[in-house]
Chains A and B, each alone.
Chain A
Amino acid sequence: MADGERVDIRDKVTGRAIYTEDLPEPPGTLFAAAIRSPYSHANVGAIDSSRAEAVPGVVAVLHRDKLAEFDVQIDEIDKDALHMNLAATDNPFITRFKARYDGDLLGMVVARDIRIARAAAQMVDIDFEILPPLFDAADALAPGAPILHEEHGSNLAMTESIHWGDVDSAFASAAHVFEGTFTSPTIFHHPMEPAMSGLVHFHHDVLEAWGPTNNPFSLVEPASLLLGLDEEQVRVHVPYVGGNFGAKHMTGELVVVSAMSKKLGRPIKYVATEEESFRVTARHAMTYRGRVALDADARILAMDVDLLVDTGAYFTGAAIATQNAVSSGWGGYRMPSFRMMARTAYTNKVPAGMFRNTGKNQVTFALDSLMDSIAHQLDLNPIEFRLQNMLQHGEQASVTGWTRNGKDVKIDYPPLDTDYSKLIDIACREIRWDRQPAARNEGRFAVGHGIGVSLRRGASFGDANARARLNADGSVTIEHNAPDVGEGAHTMISVVAAGTLGIPERQVHVAEPDTNYNLHFSGTSSQRTTIQMGNAVRLACEALQAEIFKVAASSLGGNAADWQIHDGRACRGDQLVELGVIAENAGGMIEAVGSYERSNRVDHAFGSRDHFAPGVAAVEVEVDCETGDVRVLKYAACADAGTVLNYSAAKGQIEGGAIMGFGAALFEEVSYGEGQLLNADAFQYRLPHLSDIPEGFSVNFIENHDGPGPFGSKGIAQTSIPCAAPAIANAIFDAVGARLTSTPFTPQKVLEAMGELKEKP
């Protein structure tokens, strides 16, 4: 490994990286295929799998009527703890009596060959009573709409609100009031490695599973409860993971094949197709209606926001997405008074879950477009307007008098720990923008500039545990359960371990996640890994170092305090000792565990936050005024990293987030119609390609070494994605004077906003 290289990069450029589907199959492995609802909304009547079972090569079929046959603990199915897909409270591992989206899981077939399994899954005869589907949150909340979950009595999944100050008085006394409505559609994650696949093997009284996930523990509890096992009897490994973005969680499919493996005593491999991967999860669609009150000097007095969230068929990510949306509703702006009310509805769409920067991308697009629009309407420089109204370094957002859902709450947000003016200066300089609006363009192609700014409240709650072990060969192994889903988590662990211990990175081995280590982690998500796992690794290595010095002192002389580690070896004065010798002196190895926890304080507004994660983007776009086509000519992203731990991985996070934001801004939208999901395949779902990305693309960091992570680092993974859509929308306005209020900015919408299309074609 060369200096600064990611620890996984050699495997990844040589084809040696083993992903779940690449794992060699144990002897006797069977292959699984899913039985799914082809309808978006239907009652499930009689299920007859006899034709499928008669197919030569089919070994077993599991569905609603065969749960007892496979010893599934039926009583456990409706208990909250079991619900798959994260925080779901109404999403059992298979649906039994009602299908609520196109792709809803009804059971699995296993056979000796994948083709036989897939063909037989089509031969399960099911009486469906088709119900009218709902694909829009407003329709779902309208009186008389069909109800997805009868037990709730309506399609309203939840509400969430935050309020401080005196919003109504502020609006009454305001010199200016502006408002805008912005919509963001459902989009898909599209990890390159299809989501959901896995290999399970029940043997020696243990269910062993391998799967692509950001959290191996997410299978342990549901599988143990449904299969009647102790948690220690479920062991999950995570090989290389081909992308996550919120889509790689353990799913019902793996629970079903786990039950089948236990009953049959055979290993089972489930390989999801890409069209199935499109049906794992999605990003929430949102409609944001915001009003802003300002005084005569263009200072914001108050904001009042109404938000409608579409969570799809099940609760899944509803709470996190809605709370995140509400808690990011004011971005980095100074708000003397603020009110935001969100309603979240069920629809017959693929259940929406976590999506990189969950809930906040949609809100940031709306908020920062609205702020830009206000500046233009007041004839103010949009950057000066922002800087006048944004929190400054050290300033605290309003922290008194908050109510959340009508109840008083405590606020534990730290003061702003970043400097927007610096981030904006760097981004503008990169695209050579002097912050003045473009001269009015003439001719077919118009060029404009825009910025987007975001503020994410730092790492979420969670806990992390890591074990550092000095081996007899002098190397150090770090055991942990933070899957590297592509962001560089294992590189971060390597950098932190080496830096804490004072050894070169080549002496550190980062192990593959394995629940048998008995080291819990809340998952590689929510921008928590660098802070929480990073600190757990740092603490483990500090404890290991103390142990090493103790053993050195007792076996080699001196006091523990006399010993140091320098360049991979222990030293005391002139005495230099290989670390392996010290491990040998301790009986072959020395190990220590580090633990770090940020608890979810329920009496506080939106949990516990330890720092801020701001993002800024500056873009130059060209609009073809005849076709409405938008091309991004220059893009500059800037983040406050605290300390960059590995440049290559950090740059990749900012670059990749921005490009994912590009896709959402310009191309991506899930289409539903005619009762169906229409574009769940790579042909019809448009993703960003290299040729969409400008050659002039830059990433910059500011580093003040002031973050809560190891060596002053902060979380950065989700800082660039929210800035793309508002920056591009604001640049389009600068170019052609048309305000885009709905992503993606298709040529048709651009021409409509320009007034070029009077009627929809």
Chain B
Amino acid sequence: MTELIENLDTVQETDVTLNVNGQTWQGSIPVEETLLDCLRRRVALTGTKRGCESEVCGACTVLVDGVPISSCSYLAFEADGKQVLTVEGLATGEELHPLQAAFARNGAAQCGYCTPGQLMAAYALLQAHADPTYEQMGHFLDGNVCRCGCYPSIATAIREAAAALRTTR
């Protein structure tokens, strides 16, 4: 423990360039900083939520180069040069992404704390399966806990969003 304390002031830093929601963010960060902390504290995007900090609950899910990851357990420097998509990057101006619109319409959020993570996992699901089955939803969203128990509404919202996206493609 004493060693840890001594090391607190001598954190090794590294320069990174992230592309977050289409915008470039450059800066120097401690090598052990998680992408979650970097997004929330440096990029100032607090939509991504801290939950269990152990890659179980899914509240911190973001996409890195299109792949859903738990940003609480992903070091920020690993995202150097990559595309990061967070909940703030889904809407176009005030126009909601079809997934957001379907979540809103179906009341697929109650307390809303897991919602950014649910949306990002659902986004990855629809990238992989344009017309997902319930089993595929379960597979993609099983790492995203909703204690308010919105699962049936989330499933309905995903189905509606998938249908909307299929007609616009």
Contact = CB atoms under 8 A, between A and B. Distances in A.
A57 B113 contact: no
Contact of B107 (A651, A689, A691): A651
Contacts of A659: 149, 151
Interface stretch (A113-121, A249-257, A563-571, A581-589): A113-121
Interface in B39-57: 40, 45-54, 56-57
B76 interface: no
Interface string A178-209: 00000000000111111000000000000000
Contact of A243 (B86, B91, B147): B147
Contacts, number: 192
A424 interface: no
Interface string B64-103: 0000000000000000000000111011000010001001
Interface residues of A, number: 70
B145 A192 contact: yes
B63 interface: no
A240 interface: yes
B46 A192 contact: no
B8 A116 contact: yes
A486 B112 contact: yes
A542 to B, nearest CB: 28
Contacts of B52: 274, 681-682
A243 B53 contact: no
B139 interface: yes
Interface string B1-41: 10011001100000000000000000000000000000010
B147 A191 contact: yes
A626 interface: no
B112 A695 contact: no
Contact of A13 (B59, B104, B152): B104
Contact of A11 (B45, B56, B112): B112
Given A14-B91, A193-B111, A690 B154 contact: yes
Contacts of A19: 49, 113
Interface in A1-45: 2, 5-6, 8-19, 21-22
B8 A113 contact: yes
Interface in A322-354: none
A629 B7 CA distance: 49
Nearest to B157: A13
Contacts of B115: 12-13
Interface in B128-169: 134-135, 137-139, 141-142, 144-155
Contact of A15 (B48, B107, B137, B149): B48
A649 interface: yes
A691 B143 CA distance: 10
A190 B114 CA distance: 12
Q: Is the interface of B mostly helix, strand, loop or mixed?
A: loop
A243 B46 contact: no
B116 A15 contact: yes
A660 B149 contact: yes
Interface string A239-262: 011111100000000000000000
Contact of A194 (B51, B109, B148): B51
Contacts of A445: none
B104 A15 contact: no
A469 to B, nearest CB: 26
Interface string A50-75: 00000111000000000000000000
Contact of B49 (A116, A192, A688): A192
| B45, B57, B91, B110: residue with the most chain A Cβ atoms closer than 10 Å | B110
A651 B149 CA distance: 11
A695 B109 CA distance: 18
A655 B152 contact: yes
B119 interface: yes
Contact of B100 (A14, A242, A656, A657): A14
Contacts of A658: 149
Interface string A264-296: 000000010110000000000000000000000
Contact of A116 (B5, B103, B110, B137): B5
B108 to A, nearest CB: 8
A391 interface: no
Contact of B110 (A486, A647, A662): A486
B147 A190 contact: yes
Contact of A9 (B4, B56, B109, B119): B109
A14 B47 contact: yes
Given A123-B1, A649-B107, A656-B148, A15 B51 contact: no
A671 interface: no
B67 to A, nearest CB: 19
B138 A690 contact: yes
Contact of A12 (B5, B106, B112): B112
Q: Which 9 A-B pairs have the closest CB atoms?
A: A15-B47, A486-B111, A648-B107, A659-B149, A242-B113, A12-B112, A691-B138, A656-B149, A682-B52
9 contacts: A14-B47, A17-B112, A56-B8, A119-B4, A120-B5, A240-B112, A243-B147, A690-B137, A693-B152
Given A5-B105, A9-B112, A192-B146, 19 more contacts: A12-B112, A13-B96, A13-B103, A13-B109, A57-B9, A113-B8, A116-B5, A191-B113, A192-B57, A192-B147, A192-B148, A240-B111, A274-B53, A652-B110, A652-B150, A660-B149, A682-B52, A682-B57, A691-B135
Interface of B: 1, 4-5, 8-9, 40, 45-54, 56-57, 59, 86-88, 90-91, 96, 100, 103-107, 109-116, 119, 134-135, 137-139, 141-142, 144-155
